[in-house]
Each structure stands twice: as C-alpha cells, then as structure tokens.
Amino acid sequence: AAGVIQSPRHLIKEKRETATLKCYPIPRHDTVYWYQQGPGQDPQFLISFYEKMQSDKGSIPDRFSAQQFSDYHSELNMSSLELGDSALYFCASSLVGTDTQYFGPGTRLTVL
Amino acid sequence: SQQGEEDPQALSIQEGENATMNCSYKTSINNLQWYRQNSGRGLVHLILIRSNEREKHSGRLRVTLDTSKKSSSLLITASRAADTASYFCATDAFQGAQKLVFGQGTRLTINP
C-alpha cells in the first residue's frame, strides 16, 4: 500500500538559510499534518491542512510557513534557520472522518 | 510534553517476556493511539482505541483505556528483539481538533 512520501530525507543547511520540505500524502487522503521532533523529544504539532485550507495551527514559528496544493501535496517552508530548528520533521496524512494519522519517514534537518 | 507522562521512560526485558507501558493524559479525548518509532525513523501506527472503548487487541498488542483516570496501557506479549523501539501514545482532543498530542515515549529494549 502507498505510504506518505517526504522529501528530502536528509537536509543540511547553514544558519539563516531557507529550507523547503515536501510531503505527498497517501492517495485520497485530504488532510495533512506537520510535526517537529527534536532530539530525544516527542513529536510536536506544527500545522495542518484540510482541503488546501489551514485547519489548525500549533507551535509553529513565524519564520515557518506551509501550504497544501491542489494535488494535496504540502510544503513546509522554513526561513532564517536557527540551530534549534535541527530536528526530524514528520508529515502525516489522514482521510476526514477517520482518526488514524499515517506518518511519513520524516526529513532530518540539520542546521550548522 | 504538553500531554502527560509515559511510564516507564525506559524498559529493558528479556526476549519472550511481556512488556507493559503506561500513558497518562490531561484533557478529554476523542481517541488514543499508540505509535512505534525505531531509532530516528518514522512513526508506525500500532493501534487506536476510542474513548468509549475499554480494551482492544491487535495480534500481540493489548491496549486498555481508563478515561476516568485519563490513562492507557500498552501490553506487548511474547516480546521479540524486533520490538526494540520507542513507543508513544498520542491523543486527539475531544470534539474537533485532530492534531495529535504525544506523550514523552517509552524506550523499550528487548534483550536476546
């Protein structure tokens, strides 16, 4: 069965640079979620989209923005990167009316 | 963690033994899910239990939910070396918000 696809899997950036993370949800899933997991931490919700509209917002810095496109894929844009942004970034998808969120393999972002 | 505690934080047992992990949460919930994460990798969905359910089984997994105590337990029977991973519980808030709030996780090590 198709799973959530995230790209790139690994990304190394310098401080103050910009990064774009991409997420391709499971086919026919209409809701996408982004989570951030710092080293040794539990995943923290950042933002979610349903039918291309932002549906919920968590502890996402103002330097980050995200959107969902007409083909339901989503991108997380991160600017003015800081050392503390180094983390695993997960995308998850679900189908409205169901409760299970299926997670992608994550993008490991390292900021030097 | 925004959600609560997982207990124990680390658990080491012999292969073939049973492993029990506990999770507590703070708010009313719609459902509770358990995820497994191998080191630095993606989150794999294990099982979902709804707020009106008390117990659920899936293969070697047994999950209980006590909404009066705001707690859940995950039992893995006849453990295998491949069960070595971190286990997280995650809840979504009652009525509406589908974002998941994760517990701190239990690091389970199965010794051969």
Which residue has tokens 């103002």?
A62
User: How many CB atoms are located within 10 Å of the residue A33 CB?
Assistant: 29
The per-residue pLDDT for B37 is 95
Cβ partners under 8 Å of residue B59, min gap 6 = none
pLDDT tops 80 at residue B3? no
CA distance A32 to B31: 19
How do residues A14-57 score in pLDDT, each as one tens digit? 999 999 999 999 999 989 999 999 998 999 999 999 989 998 89
The per-residue pLDDT for B68 is 95
Q: In this complex, which of A42, A105, A106 lies closest to B1 when CB atoms are compared? A: A42
pLDDT band at B97 (very low <50, low <70, confident <90, very high): low
CA distance A42 to B43: 11
The per-residue pLDDT for A96 is 79
The per-residue pLDDT for B1 is 43
Q: In this complex, which of A42, A94, A105 lies closest to B42 when CB atoms are compared? A: A105
Nearest CA in chain A to B31: A99
Tallying the residues shown for chain B, one arrives at 112
Q: In this complex, which of B31, B42, B101 lies closest to A99 when CB atoms are compared? A: B31
The per-residue pLDDT for B28 is 86
How do residues B44-90 score in pLDDT, each as one tens digit? 999 999 999 999 999 999 999 999 999 999 999 999 999 999 999 99
* Pairing label, strands B106-111, B10-14: parallel
How do residues B10-50 score in pLDDT, each as one tens digit? 999 999 999 999 999 988 888 999 999 998 788 999 999 99
Residue B45 distance to chain A (closest CA, Å)? 7
pLDDT tops 70 at residue B95? no
The per-residue pLDDT for B96 is 57
B11 and B84 Cβ atoms separated by less than 8 Å: no
Say if the Cβ atoms of B30 and A99 lie within 8 Å.
Answer: yes
The b/e string for A67-105 (b: 16+ C-beta within 10 A; e otherwise) is ebeeebbbbbebeebeeebbbbbbbbbbeeeeeebbbbb
The per-residue pLDDT for B2 is 46
Residue A96 distance to chain B (closest CA, Å)? 10
Say if the Cβ atoms of A42 and B43 lie within 8 Å.
Answer: no
Nearest CA in chain B to A46: B99
Beta strands in chain B (DSSP E): 6-7, 10-14, 19-24, 29-37, 43-50, 55-58, 61-66, 71-76, 85-93, 100-102, 106-111
How do residues A59-95 score in pLDDT, each as one tens digit? 899 999 999 999 999 999 999 999 999 999 999 999 8
Residue A102, CB-side half-sphere exposure with 13 Å CA sphere: 20
CA distance A19 to B49: 37
